[in-house]
Copies of this chain bind each other. A is one copy, B any other.
Amino acid sequence: MKSKLECIPCLLKQSLNATRMVTDDPVVQEKVLKSVMRVLLDMPLNRSPPSIAHAVYSIVHDITGCDDPYRALKAEYNGVAMEMYPCLKGIVDESEDRLFTAIKLAIAGNIIDFGAHIQFNVRKTIKDTLTREFAINDYPEFVESLEKSENILYLADNAGEVVFDRILIEEINDRANIIYAVKKKPIINDATTDDAIFCGIDSLAEIITTADTPGTILERCDPAFVATYRSADMIISKGQGNYESLSEEAGNIFFMLLAKCPVIAADLGVEIRSAVLKHKSSVKREDSTI
């Protein structure tokens, strides 16, 4: 998915938010903001939002001297989500369709996102996502694909959200081999290996790393990851960043996300704040350059 003009003010705001996690110094904040503006002035918009976001957050890291501005918040949300785990598990146990309920919870967990929205309400989102219709619901295709798949690649999105992914993985890891992909280095609040281990993924799935960019930009990923991606029978892709970077890539992908930004909502053809489970078949595999 290409970036849009409204990504520019959004990324500027994100750079300011991230900088303020590190420092109250207005001189540093202004230096970051103006440096990002200069870079965005020359940035071609045919790049995907995660690709541009990588450049933006690199400036934040370089100028603030902090390569993990959301470290404390990520730890906090890992803790909050882990405390919610028994409750989430209870919701699945009491449901009529365990798998669909686990998918709903995995999507609800996508509300934990410091890039798109600083403020969010996890409990309200869980309630809403459990009761609302999905704007796009390819659950029948998901079930069908799950039955045929031996190797599933699960692309994580954010720290904290990992616990919600765990709920879904626990429903499917007896049917297939799951590989859980996280970021190689901290970027925004994206999940890393440490987050995956803290949230208990390591006993359920193999953990692999993608790259140091938000989303999953295949050109930037380790060859081992790309090989895993190419050989996966089914890919579960969580969140906006993975959708933005993979919506035009080949693969048997199921995108699970909350459409938190108007650009993504428009690209998907749904209302903002919609819950989405969207299947993208591998029609473009032959055209892939990777």
Contact = CB atoms under 8 A, between A and B. Distances in A.
Interface of A: 5-6, 8-10, 12-13, 16, 26, 29-30, 33-34, 37-38, 40-41, 45
B12 A16 contact: no
A232 to B, nearest CB: 36
B6 A16 contact: yes
Query: How many copies of the polypeptide does the oligomer hold?
Result: 2
22 contacts: A5-B16, A5-B26, A5-B29, A5-B30, A5-B33, A6-B13, A6-B16, A8-B12, A8-B33, A8-B37, A9-B9, A9-B10, A9-B12, A9-B13, A9-B16, A12-B12, A30-B45, A34-B41, A37-B37, A37-B40, A37-B41, A38-B41
Contacts of A16: 5-6, 9
A10 B41 CA distance: 16
A185 B34 CA distance: 32
A19 to B, nearest CB: 9
Contacts of A12: 8-9, 12
